[in-house]
Structure 1
């Protein structure tokens, strides 16, 4: 009995041990799988879901996105995760118009310990992050250079990693915006197409970026006066967004975009209706940059319908909010410069990777950045001073046709008759020939000079110079003003000229360079050629 009992007991112990072994193995397998998912870097499903929700909140409410994303940051120490989350927070502040905080969050990425080396994803995302900052601050050329450098990497373009693919899509989208700023719309549209190639319907972030690309595409179609194609496209976008109201920013942006179409059609009432719909969506949300656009468009439309009360109301809202964000933008740029100086010894590049640690090279790079930013400040300051001048110019343009600058007989008189011995009869003859010359297009000839004109008119060069100098400062000023008035009239009367590049307009009107044309154009009209073309495009009847 004892022997039998012992055998039974041993059998039970073996069975129990076998069951315990399998049970423990299942537990270990579960722990291994759970641990793998938890620590699996960028591809971890838990982080992907959380980050996607944070990105979605970015388009619902910037403040909620910031608090939600900061909550994730507290418990996630993965370096790649931190960079993605900090970029979302930085974008949220930028959408609020708080560029100082946006740069501040970006700066936190610079605390990464470089001794351990950077993963390929971090290198690419750091470049995107910096390009995004430059774009937010209006430093489009710097942003464009960084993106061009990143997109020259075939390894990035051929990657199948989801995180790298969506970063590539964002880079192409930013580059499209940079091209759009420079009015290079065909290139902008090509970049949007390339951006879409790297997007899927995998998550909210992909879907949102697709919608943004559609809105930007619609905007560029409108700027190219492809109105029929634009209207069909923007209507489909808005129809989709109206059934997807969890993203008020995107729908508000689409309404503002559509209002520009009705403004061009001079249907100001409908334009106002669309803008008010967009404002209702974001009025109580911290999307200050979008509200600036809506306020500006509302003030323009109410001005067109002669509603002075509403015009002044929205114009004040626009100016107050714009002044606040402009101030923050300038501070953000200063902060970015300071950040570069602070990180001199970390070998961090901020435009294109700094290739050496040599002190002289770092000093040169920093000097170029400071000079570039200083020039940018001067441009901003100059634009603000000329705003009223430009507005007055357009009021005059709307109410009257541009008159050619003609030297007429009543306004031209010899200031100092003793300076030359030109007779009254000779003066009248020269004025008559100049009037005929101004009615022709010979002044568009690039080789036109005082000696050439005097030869064509068979007039003494000294006499011709004296008559011209009594009206204009010199011969060049006289010819250049004729050229600018000619091109201004073409821009107003022939819509095809609105689609030409400034470099072509410069060459067409006889200027030797793009810069010379721009300088003279601004001195005559009070604004640059690009600004003038934009304003004419907005106010011209279709």
Structure 2
């Protein structure tokens, strides 16, 4: 190339005029070619390639994925393409632990063209919403959306490749919802169904299959099928190494480390955790990093290496604090979006009611005018009807005034009834909330440090006032007292049933119980059990010695 350039440079003075003429002729041709390339780059088949590449980048580097997808999104005017790209960008932000941006990019919709979306894109939009709810720990909402979709036989019997892949994602998402609620049998069933829809050999399906193996291994491990889980994880790790997806490899390492931790082989667990961390240390997979930091902290704690335990525990706490804060903001943001949507619907209903009212009023007015004219004609034709007409007029006036009185009374009754109903919870609603509280108590979500009345009400899809009232009436305490008692009962049970917990420091017991401080844990523990954590541990130890 350099030699050719020098030769051209020597001949430049002789060929300058020729090149200028040639360039003038070439410009229009180049513009036409570039235009045709750009247009074809936005066509269906080429977009599929671009979207597939964006999805691959999601598992390589979320920041690269976001930049790449945004560059396509800016130039692409196709609304269906925009939905796909926004979903990928939203998932990238979720992997980073930035749920506010995740919700924000996902909520940007073009409502004007919503009715024109294809069946697949409507399905994809619903999947996106279910995914968003799950990212924000609103598992019940996510589960309801998916359940309503998966009863559609047309959807399940479709041979469309894109629809089948989306159905596989829905089953995978549903498996995660069941896993969170510790229903591992249904979780495994949904993973199997997800695999059955991954029939095409492309990169997206390959990624989903590896993920499913890792998730299946996690649920088998929770059923104490440890060796079966280990074999699956080793197989998934081999497949992940053959790809260029750092996230999948780190996820497989992290789950293998959990296997060795359960075997109390803490050194091997640390080796796998460090391998996983090295894969994503310089990448913004903040959620997965936080889990690895937590596991390393626990391993070093078990090995009595206080220095490294505190080092990784600090990394875990710092990262978890940021992620939890982002989750809270994300929930607030999505609640506002839902409220805005509901308000728009209410305003639309008010406008419809107003239109109906004026329409009925106009019809009634026409009827009244018609009747009046008719009666006037009758009056002129037959004077004998005058008395009847006068009586009718009096009756009409009485009915009108009576109707106004009745309307006013009904309005007052409705207002009073509404006031009463708004302040009184129905028996059915009360039983529904009690059932949801029972399910909540069976899970370990109360161990979340950020669990609040608003967060729980959002997860249960109930009014905060109703939830607070049911807890006060049936649990005999306010929300904080209710949550704290669940946490204390949980840790007290662990201390009784698992001897290893008797060796843990009180500060660590406070942390895993969901308390923000050692002192708060000690105070609440004593108020619930009647003794301090140290005294309780001593009593348990004495009883075991006997």
Please state whether the residue corresponding to 1:159 is helix, strand or coil: coil
1:43-58 matches, within 5 Å, as: 44-58=44-58
How far, CA to CA, are the matches of 1:227 and 1:55 in structure 2? 32
Change over 3 Å in CA distance of 1:345–1:388 after alignment to 2? closer
1:287-321 deviations in Å (ceiling 9; x for gaps): 01001110111111111000000111111111111
- 1:142 paired residue number: 141
How far, CA to CA, are the matches of 2:483 and 2:322 in structure 1? 16
- 1:288 paired residue number: 286
1:344-493 matches, within 5 Å, as: 344=342, 372=462, 394=494, 399=499
- Displacement, 1:153? 1.1
Q: Is the Cα contact below 8 Å between 1:200 and 1:207 reproduced in 2? A: no
Give the counterpart of 2:262 among 261, 264, 270: 264
- Displacement, 1:193? 1.2
- 1:157 paired residue number: 156
Please state whether the residue corresponding to 1:250 is helix, strand or coil: helix
How far, CA to CA, are the matches of 1:200 and 1:379 in structure 2? 48
Please state whether the residue corresponding to 1:306 is helix, strand or coil: coil
Please state whether the residue corresponding to 2:201 is helix, strand or coil: coil
- Displacement, 1:194? 1.0
**TM-score, normalization: structure 2?**
0.59
- 2:430 paired residue number: none
Q: Is the Cα contact below 8 Å between 2:79 and 2:113 reproduced in 1? A: no
- Displacement, 1:343? 2.4
- Displacement, 1:198? 1.4
- Displacement, 1:118? 3.5
Q: Is the Cα contact below 8 Å between 1:93 and 1:102 reproduced in 2? A: yes
- 2:97 paired residue number: 97
Higher relative contact order (CA 8 A, sep 6+): 1
How far, CA to CA, are the matches of 1:153 and 1:525 in structure 2? 54
- 1:70 paired residue number: 70
- 1:172 paired residue number: 171
Q: What is the count of residue pairs matched by the alignment?
A: 361
- 1:196 paired residue number: 195
- Displacement, 1:240? 2.1
Q: Is the Cα contact below 8 Å between 1:333 and 1:373 reproduced in 2? A: no
- 1:85 paired residue number: 85
- Displacement, 1:243? 2.8
Please state whether the residue corresponding to 1:343 is helix, strand or coil: helix
Change over 3 Å in CA distance of 1:346–1:170 after alignment to 2? farther
Structure 2 residues without counterparts, runs of 5 or longer: 1-32, 355-417, 426-453, 469-477, 503-526, 532-546
- 2:123 paired residue number: 124
RMSD: 3.9
Change over 3 Å in CA distance of 1:219–1:380 after alignment to 2? farther
Q: Is the Cα contact below 8 Å between 2:87 and 2:128 reproduced in 1? A: yes
How far, CA to CA, are the matches of 1:125 and 1:213 in structure 2? 20
Q: Which runs of 4+ in 1 moved over 6 A?
A: 33-39, 357-360, 378-393, 522-526
- Displacement, 1:37? 6.6
1:307-365 deviations in Å (ceiling 9; x for gaps): 000111111111111111111101101100111122236659xxxxx9xx9999xx99x
Q: Is the Cα contact below 8 Å between 1:189 and 1:217 reproduced in 2? A: yes
How far, CA to CA, are the matches of 1:123 and 1:101 in structure 2? 22
Change over 3 Å in CA distance of 1:77–1:298 after alignment to 2? same
Identify, as 1 or 2, the structure richer in helix.
Answer: 2
- Displacement, 1:154? 1.2
- 1:232 paired residue number: 231
Change over 3 Å in CA distance of 1:382–1:236 after alignment to 2? farther
Q: Is the Cα contact below 8 Å between 1:258 and 1:271 reproduced in 2? A: yes
